[in-house]
Amino acid sequence: MECWELMPKIELHAHLNGSVRSSTLLELAGELGKRGTVVFSDVENVIMKSDRSLREVFKMFDLIHVVTTDHKTVTRITKEVIEDFASENVVYLELRTTPKRNDSKGMSKRSYMEAVLEGVRAVTMVEVDLSHELFAETPAVNERYNTGRKKIFVRFLLSIDRRETTEAAMETVNLALEMSRFGVVGIDLSGNPFIGEWSTFLPALEFAKMQGLPITLHCGEVPNPEEIHAMLDFLPRRIGHACCFEDEEWETLKKSKIPVEICLTSNIKTESISSVDVHHFAELYKSNHPLILCTDDVGVFCTSLSAEYALASSTFGIGKREMFQLARKAIEFVFVEDEVKQKLEEIFASAARELD
């Protein structure tokens, strides 16, 4: 495992609230339990259960949101999640989260995102490169750069939840546009794949595309050929999962060369794929289709990006050098400006020399 932890890696599919440490969730649930807001043992049972079907996972997210959705906690979990990825040598993190409106907590989508950005400012364990504008008002700005400490590039994708209306989706896209100077680089469509209609989100996604915002879609988590076709026709910059594709859809995907964010452990634990050795990673890798190994929800699925690399390597018999190339290739698929890509190239080039 150690070699995978040491290898520089790029994470492009991680949901903030799915990446919360179990220890933090239990601590927060304990506090709410004392105040009588939740029954601690109920929350504990759900959090500690290791395998959940896809339907159960979304019940779990509702519970996580009860525990995490106030400004202070959003700031805390953002800081912890960034530090956790940095500690396993993730050098570029595209973290996605659904901006949430919660009137009872005085929270708007914008104030939710401001709390997220506050979490980035709170990171001290590593050097964070987000956007110089984000740190512009921080007195210690000069101390943050060129300190020689470990560094992680962090960017955000704003998620549209499949439960949302067209108006709510549009609000998220507008927020992403406004926050682009603070490191928001794109849009994601996610949430319970058993609900919601593609036609509901399409106007907001088309608007985002027109404005030049890159888009990634959760695509084919459940069998829904009509939606999969519509999503592929939309030509998103990336898609996530692609578990329930039929031959025709594979053909369209391969022709399109749309990169796929692969989440092995998540797909196995949610029973979207019956076992790892039959995962579509193998076929896509063999046919040289653009791929990125990702975690999805490290907290919910008890994994890490290093563990995903270890799993892919041992299951599919891929050596360290090839895995390194896979990690490096992800630079091509990040939603960020060329200047950052160049810096990532330098990080991987230097790590490649150590590999020799």
Active site (annotated) includes residue 221 = yes
d(CA 198, CA 228) in angstroms, rounded, equals 10
Tell me the two tokens of residue 217.
């879609």
Q: Name the segment binding ligand 6MZ (CB under 6 A); options: 16-24, 135-143, 167-175, 203-211.
A: 16-24
Beta bridge partners of 319: none
239 contacts 260 by C-beta, under 8 angstroms: yes
Return the residue of 11, 17, 33, 208 that touches ligand 6MZ, per CB under 6 A. 17
Tell me the two tokens of residue 53.
């079907």
What interhelical angle do 109-121 and 166-178 show, nearest 10?
40
Return the residue of 7, 14, 16, 117 that touches ligand 6MZ, per CB under 6 A. 16
d(CA 159, CA 154) in angstroms, rounded, equals 16
Does residue 270 bind ligand 6MZ (CB under 6 A)? yes
CA 127 to chain centre: 20
**Residue 193 — φ and ψ, nearest 5°?**
-75, -10
State the nearest-atom distance from the C-beta of 216 to ligand 6MZ, in Å: 12
Does residue 11 bind ligand 6MZ (CB under 6 A)? no
Q: Reduced to 3 states, what is the DSSP secondary structure of residue 124?
A: coil
Is 84 or 161 the residue whose CB approaches ligand 6MZ more closely? 161
Is 311 or 323 the residue whose CB approaches ligand 6MZ more closely? 311
State the nearest-atom distance from the C-beta of 55 to ligand 6MZ, in Å: 10
State the nearest-atom distance from the C-beta of 69 to ligand 6MZ, in Å: 8
Q: Name the segment binding ligand 6MZ (CB under 6 A); options: 12-20, 117-125, 142-150, 346-354.
A: 12-20
Return the residue of 29, 43, 47, 57 that touches ligand 6MZ, per CB under 6 A. 57
DSSP 225: H
Tell me the two tokens of residue 343.
């810096």
State the nearest-atom distance from the C-beta of 325 to ligand 6MZ, in Å: 27
Return the residue of 266, 295, 303, 306 that touches ligand 6MZ, per CB under 6 A. 266
Number of residues that bind ligand 6MZ (CB under 6 A): 18
333 contacts 51 by C-beta, under 8 angstroms: no
Does residue 216 bind ligand 6MZ (CB under 6 A)? no
Is 98 or 348 the residue whose CB approaches ligand 6MZ more closely? 98
Q: What are the C-alpha distances in Å from 348 to residues 95, 285, 326?
A: 20, 21, 11
Is 88 or 296 the residue whose CB approaches ligand 6MZ more closely? 296
CB-based contacts of 19, cutoff 8 Å, min separation 6: 77, 81, 84, 85, 95, 295, 297, 298, 299
- Catalytic, out of 83, 94, 171, 221: 221
**By rule CB under 6 A, what string of x and - marks binding of each residue 146-175 to ligand 6MZ?**
-------------x-x--------------
Return the residue of 4, 10, 61, 258 that touches ligand 6MZ, per CB under 6 A. 61
175 contacts 110 by C-beta, under 8 angstroms: yes
State the nearest-atom distance from the C-beta of 244 to ligand 6MZ, in Å: 12
Does residue 297 bind ligand 6MZ (CB under 6 A)? yes
Burial level of 181, CB count in 10 A (0-12/13-18/19+)? exposed
State the nearest-atom distance from the C-beta of 15 to ligand 6MZ, in Å: 4
35: alpha, beta or left? (left if phi > 0; alpha if psi -120 to 50): alpha
Active site positions, annotated: 221
Residues that bind ligand 6MZ in the complex, under the rule CB under 6 A: 15-18, 57, 61, 97-98, 159, 161, 190-191, 218, 221, 266, 270, 296-297
